[in-house]
Structure 1
Amino acid sequence: MRRLFLAALALPLMLVAACATTPAPDPSGDSLDAVAEDYVHLILEIGEREPGYVDAYYGPAAWAEEAKASPRDVPALIQGAASLTQRLNALSAAGAEPAVVQRKAYLLAHVSAASARLRMIGGERMSFADEAYALFGVRPELKPLSDYDPILTRIDALVPGTGPLATRVATFRNQFVIPTDRLQAVMDAAIAECRARTIRHIRLPANERFTLAFVTDKPWSGYNYFQGDAASKIEINTDQPIFTDRAIDLGCHEGYPGHHVYNALLEKTFVVDRGWVEMSVYPLYSPMSFVAEGSANYGIDLAFPGDEAETFERTVLLPLAGLTGAPVHEKDELNALVRQLARAEYTIADDYLSGRVNREETIARLSKYMLTTPERAAQRVRFIETYRSYIINYGLGRDTVQAWVEAQGPDRWKGMETLLASQILPVDLL
């Protein structure tokens, strides 16, 4: 069945949507539509028990008001999730088209993740890898930090100067800090370019749009709040200086072809065209996030392949930032090596969240292996404290999405669009 589904994804999206049929009526009178509606109610009520759990919702306003007025307690919600799983398992998808079969699998996976998050809210603690698997459907490999030391050695030979490597890297990167009074112009230009490159390949809803705001005192560097009706609110955190290449990263990741495009396509494909209400709510701690963060990070490389990001940064962003003569090529060489250190953070987070390593030592480890200042490392610890195993969705998610998209054929944008407008799960990517 997996191979049948993946083969169907190679067809144009509209053809898949048109040929999808529902399974034969269940003797009990239950249906995927009924379960999907109850699933949305479950997620909204969990959001009342954990602020931030619901990342986006654009379904009926009355449902959100009901959840706010009378949310079930955590034990009752756990039982509710178990009931949804039982109902889904009892529904037969025999004779249904692949899209409907996948819909059932998607709901099962997301109800399972919701159940795991409820148990965590109730006090259960899992190991880092177990938690990641329970919430996002992927078990990360936790390598010893010593495995990353050869990469540090290569970076040490690349970065000029003497003294601690993290300090030298920070000094080198400071050549690319965007002055505060030029941040708006640089971000506007970066997002506009990300959008222009994306709409050449992906057709977006005619009314898609976003607003941009700068904020402070957040554990993250950027966030996309999808509002529904193809609209997003993008916020950029200015607690730490922002580099010119980071403007490209944020423009692609939060906007195009990242989170904004993903949410807009899901809304159009499922909520508007098919009436599948489960896609009107986005639970943050779910398999959905592995695809969302992975595709948003891969979208940077997709939109700016080869040395195109380097060229755009040198010819457009650096002049807008009032920076001249900054060694862009050398910085990109550094970034390519630093990317290979990304999964060291999983081991560091595992040690910290388990209590084996204290906060001060964790900041030092992050500074060393992420090659950043203690201030930025402390902000990252705050992120880990808040989002825990969510961090796997960035590096591991990007690599997994990249491998899947590039295996679909030479037209990588087509593969990306198929992924973004689908209910593909992490297990399907693997």
Structure 2
Amino acid sequence: MRALVLGFLLLLGACATSPATRPDPSGDTLDAVARDYVALILEIGEREPGYVDAYYGPPEWAEAARANPRDVPALIQGAASLTERLNALSVAGAEPAVTQRKAYLLAHVSAAAARLRMVGGERMRFADEAEALFGVRPELRPLSDFDPILAEIDRLVPGEGELSARVAAFRGGFQIPTDRLQAVFDASIAECRARTIRHIDLPANERFTLAFVTDKPWSGYNYYLGGAASRIEINTDQPIFTDRAIDLGCHEAYPGHHVYNALLEQTFVVERGWVEMSVYPLYSPMSFVAEGSANYGIDLAFPGDEAARFERETLLPLAGLTGAPVQQKAELNVLVRRLARAEYTIADDYLAGRIDRAEATRLLSRYMLTTPERAAQRVRFIDTYRSYIINYGLGRDVVQAWVERQEPDHWRGMETLLASQMLPVDLL
């Protein structure tokens, strides 16, 4: 299938050798702008640790950025200059892929400029920040909108005490013992991979390593290393449940972040020489597609009740658990997913200072139906990543809607998206 997708994309325009149909009188090109864009992103990464999520271009470019990074005002001016150059470049008569390349670069330079303003001290309202960085404006709904969902969950998980405590106790029956984490995750990721490679052709040398870590604000992370390789880390600060092993196996690996980065590298960097795709700025429209597709990939790989069946037949025995009510938990998960956007409203209030950390923790525990400890970890995530949280729930919903509008073969739509420079605005 990948050959068909690549054939289509190459037909749209293989512009490593033919940027735009009309050369700019100044001699500027998309390739030249792309090179300077990579330098900009790498230098921002020197001013904000963690901003560059992945880089697998020429090592000397990273060394140059480390040796002599511009200060923040100069970088803001550099972003403005790149925008001017891009706007001056004509793509009239160019192949659609070239037009898309220009749009992609414009959107990512705009996000970089917004992030630089934040590094310089500017603070935006939650929705404004999300739109500036990720290209999508989230709706902030009152928390009362989510109370009917809590009522449904209350009926599903009856008992005494706070609903969040009851749900946490119920989930505790699926907790993976520490000494069985490796076996459960190995089996889960292997199954995620087997289901993915039936539909998507991956580079022959694709591979990953898996490590368990602590003291992180996130539950899992994929560090893409280039050369079709990833390092996947799973945080064990909080209990991990058997269904979460499926989620993380798909999200971080197959068909999630590992596949996304491997296809981008193969399609653009290796086959076309489009250097802008050798760097991944975390706070950019790229993350909306990355996180949204990684979350949608869970449902794509395990449609219907297949995740529950795999969990019951394979993961629970590996975890040494028996008799856990998998079907009831699957019903619970469907309802909990509908609560996801409550987090945006809580984060908006917390980051704006309308509620303090204790209240944010309490509300997250209530509306995410989790323990105070896990809610506190989520507040730590919001402290670090702020409006990035929209990329998970809203991103999944937007990606799912786009993929399932394309054609009956949802895997083919997914592969087309993962091997493209499509922006969030293209998916809406």
How high is the TM-score relative to the length of structure 1? 0.97
> CA separation in 1, counterparts of 2:306 and 2:251?
16
Within-5 A mapping of 1:224-373 = 224-373=222-371
Query: Match of 1:225, SS?
Result: strand
Aligned to 1:75: 73
> CA separation in 1, counterparts of 2:158 and 2:146?
20
**Aligned match for 2:394, one of 378, 396, 404:** 396
Q: How much has 1:123 moved relative to structure 2? A: 0.4
> CA separation in 2, counterparts of 1:342 and 1:226?
27
Amino acid in the other structure paired with 1:12: V
> CA separation in 2, counterparts of 1:123 and 1:282?
23
Q: How much has 1:25 moved relative to structure 2? A: 1.1
**Aligned match for 1:16, one of 9, 33, 49:** 9
Q: Give deviations 1:204-243, integer Å, cap 9, x for gaps.
A: 0000000000000000000000000000000000000100
> CA separation in 1, counterparts of 2:8 and 2:395?
28
Q: How much has 1:161 moved relative to structure 2? A: 1.6
Q: How much has 1:19 moved relative to structure 2? A: 4.7
Aligned to 1:375: 373
Could you list the runs of 5+ residues in structure 1 that have no partner in the other structure?
A: 1-10
Amino acid in the other structure paired with 2:19: T
Q: How much has 1:294 moved relative to structure 2? A: 0.1
Work out whether residues 188 and 245 of structure 2, in 8 Å CA contact, stay in contact via their aligned partners in 1.
yes
Q: How much has 1:182 moved relative to structure 2? A: 0.3
Aligned to 2:148: 150
Amino acid in the other structure paired with 1:13: L
Q: Give deviations 1:68-112, integer Å, cap 9, x for gaps.
A: 011000000000000000000000001110000000000000000
> CA separation in 2, counterparts of 1:47 and 1:329?
45
Work out whether residues 194 and 251 of structure 1, in 8 Å CA contact, stay in contact via their aligned partners in 2.
yes
Aligned to 1:203: 201
Say how many residue pairs are matched: 422
**Aligned match for 2:210, one of 209, 212, 222:** 212
The share of aligned pairs that are identical, in percent, is 82
> CA separation in 2, counterparts of 1:90 and 1:379?
46
> CA separation in 2, counterparts of 1:62 and 1:394?
34
Query: Match of 1:92, SS?
Result: coil
Query: Match of 1:12, SS?
Result: helix
Aligned to 1:45: 43
> CA separation in 2, counterparts of 1:311 and 1:331?
12
State whether structure 2 residue 135 is matched by structure 1 residue 137.
yes
Within-5 A mapping of 1:173-188 = 173-188=171-186
Work out whether residues 19 and 29 of structure 2, in 8 Å CA contact, stay in contact via their aligned partners in 1.
no
> CA separation in 2, counterparts of 1:370 and 1:391?
13
Query: Match of 1:176, SS?
Result: coil
Query: Match of 2:222, SS?
Result: strand
State whether structure 2 residue 92 is matched by structure 1 residue 94.
yes
Aligned to 1:425: 423
Superposed CA RMSD: 1.1
Aligned to 1:414: 412
Aligned to 1:8: none
State whether structure 2 residue 69 is matched by structure 1 residue 64.
no
Q: How much has 1:18 moved relative to structure 2? A: 4.1
Q: How much has 1:17 moved relative to structure 2? A: 1.1
Amino acid in the other structure paired with 1:279: M
Q: How much has 1:14 moved relative to structure 2? A: 1.9
Amino acid in the other structure paired with 1:201: H
**Aligned match for 2:190, one of 189, 192, 217:** 192
> CA separation in 1, counterparts of 2:171 and 2:91?
54
Query: Match of 1:13, SS?
Result: helix
Work out whether residues 22 and 97 of structure 1, in 8 Å CA contact, stay in contact via their aligned partners in 2.
no
Q: How much has 1:377 moved relative to structure 2? A: 0.2
> CA separation in 2, counterparts of 1:25 and 1:364?
58
Q: Which range moved further: 46-55 or 19-28?
A: 19-28
Q: How much has 1:183 moved relative to structure 2? A: 0.3
How high is the TM-score relative to the length of structure 2? 0.98
Amino acid in the other structure paired with 1:296: A
Within-5 A mapping of 1:23-42 = 23=20, 24-42=22-40
State whether structure 2 residue 169 is matched by structure 1 residue 171.
yes
> CA separation in 2, counterparts of 1:316 and 1:406?
29
